């Protein structure tokens, strides 16, 4: 089942149980979950949510770089709120021209890349972990059942 299809309340209950075991917090004040949007041009969407309202903002499409782009978002959005110019506003605007060719290229090439990568992983031959002999300071990729593992021997014992 995909992440988006899972019940959020069940996920939060599991997270609360874990947090209760590690901390002594008394109550949960807020909770959210995130799905990482990957923009076709690999740039986040930061700016006005729509062109009709100057008090609605969006910051998304961080391509798994949320800590960095979250800070950048706050800088851009605070400038927009104060009416100041920001040199990144046009580049990262949600209303920028995204380029049809680039979007099409991503949708076609991404699945092919995944298939190629998985096929390569299936075709690669690795020695079985039980038959692998390593000298001190040597490492290898080995097969352990259907899994690949990295192993390393650090001394002669």
Is pLDDT larger for residue 124 or for residue 17?
A: 17
Residue indicated by tokens 């149980």: 17
* pLDDT at site 146: 76
Indicate if 93 and 47 belong to the same structural domain.
Answer: yes
Q: Strands 45-48 and 57-60: what pairing? A: antiparallel
Taking the CA of residue 47 as centre, how many other CA atoms within 13 Å lie in the half-sphere pointing to its CB? 19
- Say yes or no: 64 and 44 in one domain: yes
What pLDDT was estimated at residue 11? Answer: 81
In this predicted structure, the answer to whether residue 154 has a pLDDT above a threshold of 70 is yes
Whether residues 59 and 94 fall in one domain? yes
**H or E element, residue 47:** strand 45-48
130 and 109 co-located in one domain: no
46 is written with which tokens? 């930061």
Domain that holds residue 61: 34-113
Which helix (H) or strand (E) segment is 120 a member of? helix 100-123
Residue carrying the six token digits 């506003």: 89
* Pair 109, 130 in one domain: no
Q: Are residues 57 and 93 in the same domain?
A: yes
pLDDT digits 0-9 by tens, 55-104: 999 999 888 888 889 999 999 999 999 999 999 998 899 988 766 566 56
pLDDT in the model for residue 20: 86
- How far apart (Å, rounded) are the C-alpha atoms in residues 38 and 129? 37
Q: Is residue 84 located within the same domain as residue 154?
A: no
Structure confidence at residue 152 (pLDDT): 85
Q: What pLDDT was estimated at residue 79?
A: 96
User: pLDDT digits over 9-60, tens only?
Assistant: 788 888 888 888 888 877 777 776 666 777 777 889 999 998 888 899 999 9
Q: Measured in Å, how far apart are the chain's first and last C-alpha atoms?
A: 45
Whether 42 is in a domain gets the answer: yes
Place of tokens 């002669």: 156
Same domain, 53 and 98: yes
Q: What pTM was computed for the model?
A: 0.46
Asked if residue 28 belongs to a domain, the reply is: no
Q: What is the pLDDT of residue 1?
A: 45
> How many domains is the chain built from?
2
């Amino acid at each position: 089942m995909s992440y988006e299809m899972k019940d959020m309340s069940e996920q939060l209950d599991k997270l609360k149980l874990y947090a209760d075991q590690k901390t002594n917090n008394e109550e949960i004040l807020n909770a959210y979950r995130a799905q990482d949007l990957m923009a076709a041009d690999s740039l986040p969407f930061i700016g006005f949510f729509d062109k009709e309202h100057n008090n609605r903002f969006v910051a998304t499409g961080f391509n798994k770089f949320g800590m960095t782009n979250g800070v950048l978002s706050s800088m851009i959005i605070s400038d927009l709120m104060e009416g100041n110019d920001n040199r990144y506003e046009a580049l990262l605007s949600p209303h920028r021209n995204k380029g049809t060719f680039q979007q099409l290229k991503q949708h076609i090439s991404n699945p092919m890349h995944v298939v190629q990568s998985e096929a390569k992983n299936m075709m690669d031959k690795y020695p079985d972990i039980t038959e692998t002999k390593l000298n001190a300071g040597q490492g290898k990729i080995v097969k352990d059942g259907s899994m690949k593992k990295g192993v390393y021997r650090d001394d002669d014992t």
